[in-house]
């Protein structure tokens, strides 16, 4: 069982926390903000308190264990506490139990120098007592034991009965009407003749044997039957005020003794001052009492120094050397120095004020509440009604500000001023001294003609379309027909061309020779004339028939030549070398390195969409996987994914 001190902040150990999938692997990622349940159950009344806002952190080097910091909101209640934490998809349910105990009991067990658990012995003087817990209990104090102030203070014993008090000392003041007549035993005051001294409201009745009383009666005598030698008021006043015997006034604190100073009668030299009697004498004793009346006359001069004035002085019109106390009224004359506070106004000039500086005066002004300074036309009224300028107004004011007033070293104004005086950057020749990779070098080397002389965007788009068409055509090479892999080499083509030239020349020579031989009187014509009959001669093809036959043969040859030409047109221009034809590797490299954003996608299940999952942005929301296009925004394709709660996550892949 773990104990927690009532009302204190405690860091509790929670664990072990193990994975829900196997029940033994420690979980180090438990978070109260995402847990399904996180609460403390107080068993005194079944209250359930959320602990989601409390500090919860994994214990370093102790996987599966966490520290939960409980606050007074839970620990204020004494009794059993159960902590429950559930995260259904992450870990098995977690339960921890603690007991909140009274501060006295906790400190007796665990505080520095603790004496251990209570054993029934009397409390020591320094041991705190919980008055609430003692309610209804009998408290017995052993000999020599003094109750601590937490119990002995009369303000802490608010109810109950103290059965017997053997010895009572230091009885506090008795309040009005606390002691009643019923509470005084009969005869308790017998023989105590002075018990009624100072008491009022009683009637004193004279009885036989009362006789003459030498003691003073300070109360009221309702009826006096006979008073002899009674003094009149005038006699009493004369006797009091005209008594000049110093020895008569010896009672401490009496009025008579107070009127005499060192046994000197008032008005005499060295005695109390009385106007018109001792005006030529000096007052040699200190005036310790307050003068509450006014001094309406004038004081001619004070020759000696005035040490100090303890009380308040309403006003001083003359010069005062120094005042160490507070001056509540006004001072119209000059003041040498003031070390205290001045509550009123200072009309004259002040040479210097040590306590005030420019900084703290400014602080006091800016820290002053506007509500007390909102009179019409005042700065406070203007500030109270002022509104903050907009960002645009501030920006305009900043950019419209004259630089000459903002040239302090290190400021933006100083930097802008320096940049403006450095010269016009547009007059610098490019690339000039700009190094490789700088903007000046790049612009100077590449923008070497007017922008208008460059290709327009329309022409660039046209070229891009042509290039795309060429790429489509080249992609088809090798699949349509025999492909480039079946093309004749340059040497073979040269051989074919030479052969065709030779054969065609021979055919032309033969046809020319035939035309000559068949002419009237030609060699063949003479032979036929000598050898052949007219019938056989008539069977010999005419020139027109031969021309038709040769034309047909020539068309067949030209058709074959056209087929060869169609193939040779696919070979790059001069020099027409096989090396200019992309190799299979080059074609593969071009395909693998092609920017997918330049490809027009028309099919859903294409290699392009497959590669997008590997290269482009994708996300999962719920059970929907979305793969984006090359702009990482537009959706290329989606699919439905399946999840298994508690399954081990995939954290890596290392193919063989």
Number of domains, the chain: 5
The most confident of 86-90, 134-138, 251-255, by mean pLDDT: 86-90
Q: Are both 444 and 471 inside the same structural domain?
A: yes
**Whether pLDDT at 234 is above 60:** yes
Q: Which residue has the tokens 């489509």?
A: 472
Looking at per-residue confidence, does 242 or 151 come out higher?
242
Instruction: Sheet with 618-621: list strands edge to edge.
Output: 618-621, 624-628, 635-640
**Whether pLDDT at 361 is above 50:** yes
Band (305; pLDDT cuts 50, 70, 90): low
pTM for this prediction: 0.25
Predicted pLDDT of residue 121: 47
pLDDT mean across residues, the chain: 73
Looking at per-residue confidence, does 336 or 235 come out higher?
235
Q: Of 329, 324, 325, whose CA–CA distance to 343 is shortest?
A: 329
Distance CA 139, CA 160 (A): 12
490-518 and 523-531 are packed helices; what angle lies between their axes, rounded to 10 degrees? 50
Predicted pLDDT of residue 514: 67
Q: Which residues contact 219 (CB under 8 A, 6 or more apart)?
A: 199, 200, 202, 204
Q: Are both 472 and 489 inside the same structural domain?
A: no
Q: Are both 462 and 545 inside the same structural domain?
A: no
The most confident of 286-300, 468-482, 507-521, 623-637, by mean pLDDT: 623-637
Q: Are both 80 and 105 inside the same structural domain?
A: yes
pLDDT tens for 541-582 read 677 777 777 667 667 777 777 777 777 776 665 554 556 667
Predicted pLDDT of residue 480: 47
Q: Are both 30 and 84 inside the same structural domain?
A: yes
Tokens standing for residue 100: 């909140």
The alpha carbon torsion through 36, 42, 46, 52 (nearest 10 deg) reads -20
**Whether pLDDT at 644 is above 70:** yes
Distance CA 17, CA 29 (A): 10
Predicted pLDDT of residue 136: 52
Predicted pLDDT of residue 516: 74
Q: Are both 24 and 104 inside the same structural domain?
A: yes
Mean pLDDT of 311-325: 67
Q: Are both 456 and 553 inside the same structural domain?
A: no
Looking at per-residue confidence, does 91 or 596 come out higher?
91
Give the β-pairing of 335-338 and 320-323.
Answer: parallel
Domain that holds residue 617: 599-640
Domain boundary among 110, 141, 173: 110
Q: Are both 31 and 52 inside the same structural domain?
A: yes
Rounded to a whole number of angstroms, the CA Rg of the chain reads: 62
Q: Check residue 390 and report its DSSP letter.
A: P
Residue 630 lies in a domain: yes
Q: Are both 576 and 604 inside the same structural domain?
A: no
Q: Are both 32 and 103 inside the same structural domain?
A: yes
pLDDT tens for 373-422 read 878 888 888 887 778 788 888 888 888 888 788 888 888 878 777 766 65
Band (34; pLDDT cuts 50, 70, 90): very high
Residue 549 lies in a domain: yes
Residue 500 lies in a domain: yes
Predicted pLDDT of residue 19: 93
Mean pLDDT of 585-612: 80
Q: Are both 541 and 618 inside the same structural domain?
A: no
Q: Of 12, 30, 8, 6, whose CA–CA distance to 82 is shortest?
A: 12
Domain boundary among 92, 110, 128: 110
**Whether pLDDT at 42 is above 60:** yes
Q: What is the largest CA-CA distance in the chain?
A: 220
Mean pLDDT of 314-335: 67
Predicted pLDDT of residue 65: 95
Between 29-43, 202-216, 562-576, the lowest mean confidence (pLDDT) is in 202-216
Mean pLDDT of 502-522: 73
Question: What sign does the CA torsion over 42, 43, 44, 46 have?
Answer: positive
Mean pLDDT of 56-75: 89
Q: Of 423, 426, 403, 424, whose CA–CA distance to 415 is shortest?
A: 403
Domain boundary among 580, 615, 649: 580
Mean pLDDT of 14-38: 92
Residue 395 lies in a domain: no
Residue 140 lies in a domain: no
Predicted pLDDT of residue 220: 64
**Whether pLDDT at 70 is above 80:** yes
Residue 191 lies in a domain: no
Residue 378 lies in a domain: no
Q: Are both 455 and 529 inside the same structural domain?
A: no
Residue 170 lies in a domain: no
Phi, psi of 462 (to 5 degrees): -60, -45
> Which domain CATH number covers 19?
2.60.40
**Whether pLDDT at 80 is above 80:** yes
């Amino acid at each position: 069982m773990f104990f927690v001190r009532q009302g204190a902040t405690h860091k509790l150990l929670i664990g072990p926390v193990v994975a829900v999938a196997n029940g033994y692997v420690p979980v180090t990622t438990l978070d109260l903000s995402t847990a399904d349940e996180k609460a403390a159950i107080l068993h005194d009344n079944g209250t359930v308190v959320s602990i989601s806002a409390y500090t919860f952190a994994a214990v370093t080097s102790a996987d599966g264990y966490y520290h939960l910091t409980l606050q007074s909101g839970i620990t204020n209640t004494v009794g059993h506490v159960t902590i429950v934490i559930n995260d259904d998809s992450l870990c098995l349910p977690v339960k921890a139990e603690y007991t909140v105990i009274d501060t006295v009991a906790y400190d007796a067990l665990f505080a520095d120098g603790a004496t251990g658990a209570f054993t029934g012995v009397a409390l020591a003087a320094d041991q705190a007592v919980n008055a609430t817990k003692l309610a209804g209990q009998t408290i017995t104090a052993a000999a020599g034991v003094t109750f601590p102030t937490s119990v002995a203070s009369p303000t802490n014993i608010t109810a109950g009965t103290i059965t017997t008090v053997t010895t009572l000392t230091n009885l506090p003041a008795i309040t009005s009407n606390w002691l009643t007549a019923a509470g005084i035993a009969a005869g308790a005051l017998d023989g105590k003749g002075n018990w009624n001294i100072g008491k009022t409201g009683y009637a004193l009745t004279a009885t036989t044997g009362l006789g003459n009383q030498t003691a003073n009666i300070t109360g009221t005598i309702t009826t006096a039957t006979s008073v002899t030698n009674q003094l009149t008021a005038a006699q009493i006043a004369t006797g009091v005020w005209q008594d000049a015997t110093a020895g008569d006034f010896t009672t401490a604190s009496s009025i008579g003794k107070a009127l005499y100073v060192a046994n000197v009668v008032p008005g005499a030299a060295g005695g109390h001052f009385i106007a018109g009697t001792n005006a030529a004498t000096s007052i040699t004793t200190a005036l310790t009492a307050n003068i509450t009346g006014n001094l309406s006359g004038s004081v001619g001069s004070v020759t000696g120094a005035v040490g100090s004035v303890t009380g308040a002085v309403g006003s001083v019109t003359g010069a005062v050397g120094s005042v160490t106390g507070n001056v509540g009224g006004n001072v119209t004359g000059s003041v040498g120095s003031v070390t205290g506070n001045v509550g009123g106004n200072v009309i004259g000039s002040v040479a210097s004020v040590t306590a005030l500086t420019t900084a703290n005066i400014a602080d006091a002004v800016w820290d002053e509440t506007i509500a007390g300074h909102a009179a019409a036309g005042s700065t406070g009224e203007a500030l109270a009604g002022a509104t903050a300028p907009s960002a645009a107004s501030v920006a305009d004011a900043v950019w419209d500000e004259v630089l000459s007033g903002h040239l302090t070293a290190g400021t933006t104004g100083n930097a802008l001023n320096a940049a403006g005086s450095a010269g016009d950057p547009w007059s610098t020749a490019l690339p000039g001294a700009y190094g490789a990779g700088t903007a000046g070098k790049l612009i100077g080397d590449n923008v070497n003609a007017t922008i208008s002389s460059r290709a327009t965007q329309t022409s660039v788009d046209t070229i891009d379309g042509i290039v795309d068409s060429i790429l489509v055509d080249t992609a088809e090479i090798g699949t349509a027909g025999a492909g480039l892999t079946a093309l004749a080499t340059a040497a073979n083509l040269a051989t074919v061309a030479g052969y065709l030239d030779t054969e065609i020349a021979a055919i032309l020579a033969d046809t020319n020779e035939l035309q000559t031989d068949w002419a009237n009187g030609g060699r063949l014509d003479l032979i036929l004339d000598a050898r052949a009959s007219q019938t056989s001669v008539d069977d010999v093809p005419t020139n027109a028939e031969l021309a038709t036959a040769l034309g047909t043969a020539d068309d067949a040859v030209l058709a074959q030549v056209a087929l060869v030409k169609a193939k040779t047109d696919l070979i790059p221009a001069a020099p027409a070398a096989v090396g200019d034809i992309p190799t299979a590797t080059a074609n593969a490299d071009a395909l693998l390195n092609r920017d997918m954003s330049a490809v027009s996608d028309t099919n859903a299940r294409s290699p392009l969409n497959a590669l997008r999952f590997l290269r482009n942005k994708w996300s999962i929301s719920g059970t929907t996987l979305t793969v984006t296009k090359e702009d990482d925004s537009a959706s290329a394709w989606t699919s439905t994914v399946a999840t298994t709660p508690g399954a081990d996550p995939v954290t890596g892949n290392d193919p063989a």
